Structure 1
Amino acid sequence: MPGPFKKPRAVYPLEDHNPEESDEDMQQDELIGQTVSNQIDVLGLRINVDFEGFTATDADFHGMKRLLQQCFRGLPVDVSGLTDTIISQNYVGSVIKQVDAEEDDDDEEEEEMQGGEDDGQQVFGVTTVINMTARKDEDCVAGLRTALVERCSSDGPDATTALLRDILGNESKHIGLLVSERLTNLPPQFAIPVFDCLRKEINEAKKKKMPYDFAYLLMICKVYKLEKKKKKRTIETELWGNPEEEVIAEECTASFEYSVKGESSMSGEWDEDDPQYTPFRRVLILEASRLPEIMVKVKQAVQM
């Protein structure tokens, strides 16, 4: 598998971009090629694991798609097409993989020559942003836009549906889909460097006059709910798939949610003796200009 500094061929279907400038002028984000250590739980044991951020390649397709299926559960969208879109814009965003200290350059070159997917390099996370305005004519993005509006119309408040229709229909202000998916055993602290890197990459892309100057950001979050009856009252408990997104949700302009109980692509199951939580997806509408201050609040929350 290519190393963290080996940037693969990029595809620029929409942006007016000069590829000759990419290596010299487009700064690599701080996570690409850097090692981040985290503890994860494996069979009840806490082990230290090192991760690095990589630019997305075709070899990451299946690992990325599996993670994105979690995000888009309950929406009739082309997940394969959206995965391809993310890979094509690898100048923004990253995939997170475990660092294999025993892997050497000869092994990497042999794997590249074989042309197969590196099954040993599991994708632990993917973070990026998709321009839903500039890419509105791509089938997979058009389908996602339609699916979100239809879901909001059936499950969300009328005011939120009106807002969503308005911002998606206003081509003078671009809307981005903020994607932040990772395996559930990675802690919320993991999101901090990932978001910081993405923000820097977006700023670099904006300097290149690429369409990443967003007015709003949409974010699909995994939420699990449990209702308990107590003294003739119903008490609802929420669990967030990515805990930092609860902080982000507090700062959103509007939101709507829908149950995905019984839908396919469920990531994990509850044990028989566990409380049975109902899975939901909550879509946040965020003002993009407030993202820096929102990230400050996220950092404060996860460091407490």
Structure 2
Amino acid sequence: MAKKRAREADGTSGAAGKMVEDSESSDDDDFDMVNVDFEWFNFTEIDFHGTKSLIRQLFDVDSTLFDVSALADLILSQPTIGSTVKVNGEESDPYAFLTALNLHEHREKKPVVELTKYITEKAKTNEALAQVPELLSSGKQVGLVLSERLINMPSEISPPMYGMLIDEIEAAVGDKEPYEFSHYLIISKTYHEIESTLDVEERKRKKGKQDATLFYFHPEDEVLQKHAVAYGSYPFTKIDEAIADSKRAFQEMGVMPRGSMILIEASKFADAARAVKEYLSAPS
């Protein structure tokens, strides 16, 4: 299948044609400009392993609680809802993906049963997410938005993905397919920096003085939250402080990831996507 939407170099289409990573030269270092063409595709069978890897990254240590293969198969079973992003043509592995699953429509399928149970339990750990369990048990059509990308992918790929998803869902509803959602529930990740448990004798780690500043793996989440009826983070089931040390990003700080949920009413989802585009789109 051809690419879903070519990104024009002049920036006149819904997404720019090229994203350029460049660094200015200095007296001390010289950097080369790197040109990268991103292409958007529908899901195909070739994306199975890449999608699995990105799902594992999204759910972090808790990905072992799910049948990730079955979840990837379910995503690939609706190829025209959502996108993959690639740089080496359709036959290559995806570097990013975004999709929406109807939790009510698939409520009897194993991966959705597992996910719904997990989401419900995690939402109960944060009062800010109190609406989520009630909504999931109400029988309403909730679209579960799953989105992940490789760590070094530019955030500017996100706006076109959301824009395409909205167009595709609108077309699917027009064809009487089950995508007329009442809400969208976005699963994502945040993290805190915490003092490392390494070199304890040298630095005498002080418990209870962890940096509570919240950071976003996906910058668009901060924008999406402004349009949400509920949002919040939750601890991973299998997380521990050793995980934070293994993800150490700074000399004396570890990275403690947390799961995140953002609940948006369907009537406000398009506005949220437009806000993401305004915030993240590459300049023309």
Verify same fold: TM over 0.5.
yes
Alpha-carbon distance between aligned partners in 2 of 1:71 and 1:264, rounded to the nearest angstrom: 19
User: Which segments of structure 1 move beyond 4 Å, counting only runs of 4 or more?
Assistant: 31-35, 232-235, 263-266
Alpha-carbon distance between aligned partners in 2 of 1:264 and 1:178, rounded to the nearest angstrom: 30
1:219-276 Cα offsets, whole Å, 9 max, x none, are 11111112589xx98753222111111111222111232223349999x833562632
Q: Which of residues 59, 80, 98 in structure 2 aligns to 1:72?
A: 59
**Please, which runs of 5 or more residues in structure 1 have no aligned partner?**
6-28, 101-107, 109-117
Q: Which of residues 88, 93, 107 in structure 2 aligns to 1:99?
A: 88
Within the alignment, does 1:90 sit opposite 2:79 as a pair? yes
Alpha-carbon distance between aligned partners in 1 of 2:241 and 2:83, rounded to the nearest angstrom: 28
Q: Which position in structure 2 is the counterpart of 1:60?
A: 47
Q: Which of residues 160, 163, 175 in structure 2 aligns to 1:208?
A: 175
AA aligned to 2:107 is K
Equivalent residues of 1:68, 1:181 under 8 A apart: yes
AA aligned to 2:232 is F
Equivalent residues of 2:192, 2:211 under 8 A apart: no
Equivalent residues of 1:226, 1:237 under 8 A apart: yes
Alpha-carbon distance between aligned partners in 1 of 2:242 and 2:229, rounded to the nearest angstrom: 30
Equivalent residues of 2:247, 2:254 under 8 A apart: no
How far has the Cα of 1:32 moved from its partner? Answer: 9.7
Secondary structure, aligned partner of 2:182: strand
How far has the Cα of 1:189 moved from its partner? Answer: 1.5
Alpha-carbon distance between aligned partners in 1 of 2:6 and 2:178, rounded to the nearest angstrom: 23
Secondary structure, aligned partner of 1:214: coil
Q: Which of residues 117, 129, 133 in structure 2 aligns to 1:160?
A: 129
Distance 1:186 1:243, change over 3 A: same
Give runs of aligned pairs for residues 5-154 of structure 1, distance below 5 A.
30=5, 36-40=17-21, 47-73=34-60, 74=62, 76-99=65-88, 121-153=92-124
How far has the Cα of 1:40 moved from its partner? Answer: 4.9
Alpha-carbon distance between aligned partners in 2 of 1:64 and 1:87, rounded to the nearest angstrom: 9
How far has the Cα of 1:166 moved from its partner? Answer: 2.2
Distance 1:137 1:234, change over 3 A: closer
Distance 1:63 1:292, change over 3 A: same
Alpha-carbon distance between aligned partners in 1 of 2:242 and 2:49, rounded to the nearest angstrom: 17
AA aligned to 2:247 is E
Q: Which position in structure 2 is the counterpart of 1:225?
A: 192
Alpha-carbon distance between aligned partners in 2 of 1:133 and 1:41, rounded to the nearest angstrom: 45
AA aligned to 1:65 is K
**More strand, by proportion:** 1
Secondary structure, aligned partner of 1:277: strand
Q: Which of residues 285, 298, 304 in structure 1 aligns to 2:263?
A: 285
1:76-104 Cα offsets, whole Å, 9 max, x none, are 2221111100101002111111135xxxx
Q: Which position in structure 2 is the counterpart of 1:112?
A: none
Alpha-carbon distance between aligned partners in 2 of 1:64 and 1:169, rounded to the nearest angstrom: 28
Equivalent residues of 1:257, 1:283 under 8 A apart: yes
Q: Which position in structure 2 is the counterpart of 1:295?
A: 273
Alpha-carbon distance between aligned partners in 2 of 1:187 and 1:32, rounded to the nearest angstrom: 15
Distance 1:67 1:131, change over 3 A: same
Q: Which of residues 234, 253, 275 in structure 2 aligns to 1:258?
A: 234
Alpha-carbon distance between aligned partners in 1 of 2:96 and 2:212, rounded to the nearest angstrom: 29
Q: Which position in structure 2 is the counterpart of 1:4?
A: 2
* RMSD over aligned Cα atoms: 3.2
TM-score (norm 1): 0.73
Distance 1:94 1:300, change over 3 A: closer
Q: Which position in structure 2 is the counterpart of 1:11?
A: none
Alpha-carbon distance between aligned partners in 1 of 2:111 and 2:172, rounded to the nearest angstrom: 23
How far has the Cα of 1:39 moved from its partner? Answer: 3.2
The count of residues paired between Structure 1 and Structure 2 equals 253
